[in-house]
A = this chain, B = another copy of it.
Amino acid sequence: MAVKGLKTNDPHIQGLASIVGDSRSILYHKEDLLAYDCDGFTILKHLPKAVVFPKDTQEVAKLVKYCSQHQLPFLARGAGTGLSGGAIPINGEVIISLVRMKRLLSVDLENRRAVVEPGFVNLKLTNSISDKGYYYAPDPSSQYCCTIGGNVAENAGGAHCLKYGVTTNHILGLEVVLPNGEIIELGHNGILDTPGYDLLGLLTGSEGTLGIVTKITVRILKNPEAKQTVLAYFDRVSDGSQAVSDIISAGIVPAALEMMDKTAIEAVEAAAFPVGHPKDIAALLLIEVDGISAGIDEQIHQILEVCRNRNVREVRAARDELERAQWWANRKTGFGAMGAISPDYLVQDGVIPRSKLPEVLSKINKISGETGLRIANIFHAGDGNLHPLVLFDARKPGETEKALEAGSACLQACADAGGTITGEHGVGIEKREEMRFVFSETEIKAQTDIRQVFNPDNLLNAGKLFPSPALCVEIKTEMKAAASS
């Protein structure tokens, strides 16, 4: 079937266009494809073959079948905010963009769940149900634009994971198009424990390598009756870290427990929402508790006490909702704020046992000294999820490469401390070699064997998530070339 308005003789573009039935639902000119050559990991770029915009599950299944039949590599993409390169078409993939599948399909308050299409934006869900007193918990910093489909692929986290868990803890069901075009349903209406293997958990966080998610049932939560935030300034990072451990040991589970170090504070104070944090402190903590009103005051009292026992310079609760909101807006500018103090930055995403915070932060400081690159730290201290931000200038020869090495060294420090190499950003293309820091050959093989079950031709998002010696060298060369270009 010929598609009107199509200006190409490429039979595959014609074949794909005929599935979406419309020349405005496919991009194939180089100038259009340029916007899709990378995601939030901008160090490596590659053009896709085409970008198609299906409008429903059936179209996704047909596109997948077409690609499979013609052995065309393909991958799914949401908003493209991923930070590890999971949506970069390194094999010249056909990108199946899910941004037009963006409906909120249903909200069931009685059973506390909602069904969305994968292109539905994270924050819109909370905005759609907040007047009824409900919200969706996972809150990555990109929540105003990232999609829930992308959140599922990456098992996204956010500031409030400490109490509420990451995306996988809020996914109750998925409709998935398998790489052969078959459609399966995972999860049963939000039931906690379902029979058989936990494929729902397996797909969540599989970084788009096992299937394409086309419908998502999520858990929604009742708004807490009350919330309050405490801000604490410390002159020593070790005191701040110890306060983090003390708060948890006291039996308090804060909704969020964030830390920023001196360099990070310099950046956020130079960015869009300065709130007047002193620039000479070593670290600040932002501690939020929520729950029933009756319990909040006592918890705040305990938190203030813990901080005072750890030589806090200044500590207090937000005086009103406005101030609380300002503190959080300032925190959420985080990564982007780095632009105010450095031309480029590379954000890393390691996780460590909470008790190792002082030790690992001091190692990161050492890595900074050795490489001569500043490293800022803004992170989810409560769950030990570090985000070292390596500041560099890509225009200076060799500095991108040095930044990549510093980032990798930070992850090695996390792994050495009994931690791991990603808490919420995923492995993607960026951290594939670092997978070896935490997995044995047998453990990696168990995973690639599972990929093989779902994705036998390896057409779906190939070369991601797992080490692949040949490809790694090739990509590393490309990355180096990109770095020096």
Residues in chain A within 8 A of chain B (CB atoms): 109-112, 133, 155, 157, 161, 165-166, 168, 178, 182-186, 188-199, 201-202, 204-206, 210, 222, 225, 245, 248-249, 251, 291-292, 294-295, 298-299, 351, 353-355, 383-385, 418-424, 426-427, 431, 435, 438-440, 442-444, 446-447, 449-454, 465-466
Q: With A110-B355, A295-B294 as given contacts, are A418 and B189 in contact (CB-CB < 8 Å)?
A: yes
Residue in A292, A418, A426 with the greatest tally of chain B CB atoms within 10 Å = A292
Residue in A193, A225, A421 with the greatest tally of chain B CB atoms within 10 Å = A193
Chain B, residue nearest A204 (CB): B198
Residue in A133, A294, A465 with the greatest tally of chain B CB atoms within 10 Å = A294
B residues less than 8 Å from A384 (CB atoms)? 191
Contact A245 B466 (CB under 8 A): no
Closest 7 CB pairs of A and B: A201-B201, A294-B294, A292-B295, A222-B251, A188-B420, A449-B453, A198-B201
Q: How far is the CA of A251 from the CA of B192 in the complex (A)?
A: 18
Contact B198 A421 (CB under 8 A): no
Q: With A111-B353, A197-B206, A198-B168 as given contacts, are A161 and B442 in contact (CB-CB < 8 Å)?
A: no
* Nearest CB of B to A82, in Å: 14
Q: With A198-B204, A202-B198, A453-B453 as given contacts, are A165 and B192 in contact (CB-CB < 8 Å)?
A: yes
Q: With A354-B111, A355-B111 as given contacts, are A166 and B193 in contact (CB-CB < 8 Å)?
A: yes
Chain B, residue nearest A380 (CB): B192
Query: What are some 27 contacts across the A-B interface (CB < 8 A)?
Result: A109-B249, A110-B245, A110-B355, A165-B192, A168-B201, A178-B442, A178-B446, A183-B442, A184-B443, A185-B443, A188-B438, A189-B419, A191-B383, A191-B423, A192-B423, A193-B423, A194-B422, A194-B438, A195-B438, A198-B202, A202-B202, A292-B295, A294-B298, A446-B453, A446-B454, A450-B450, A450-B453
Contact B184 A446 (CB under 8 A): yes
Identical subunits present: 2
* Nearest CB of B to A455, in Å: 12
* Nearest CB of B to A143, in Å: 16
B residues less than 8 Å from A205 (CB atoms)? 193, 197-198
* Nearest CB of B to A196, in Å: 5
Q: How far is the CA of A245 from the CA of B111 in the complex (A)?
A: 9
B residues less than 8 Å from A206 (CB atoms)? 197
* Nearest CB of B to A62, in Å: 17
Q: How far is the CA of A294 from the CA of B184 in the complex (A)?
A: 46
B residues less than 8 Å from A193 (CB atoms)? 155, 157, 161, 166, 168, 205, 351, 422-424
Q: How far is the CA of A275 from the CA of B205 in the complex (A)?
A: 48
B residues less than 8 Å from A442 (CB atoms)? 178, 182-184
Q: How far is the CA of A199 from the CA of B205 in the complex (A)?
A: 11
Chain B, residue nearest A253 (CB): B222
Contact B431 A195 (CB under 8 A): yes
Chain B, residue nearest A355 (CB): B110
Q: How far is the CA of A427 from the CA of B196 in the complex (A)?
A: 8
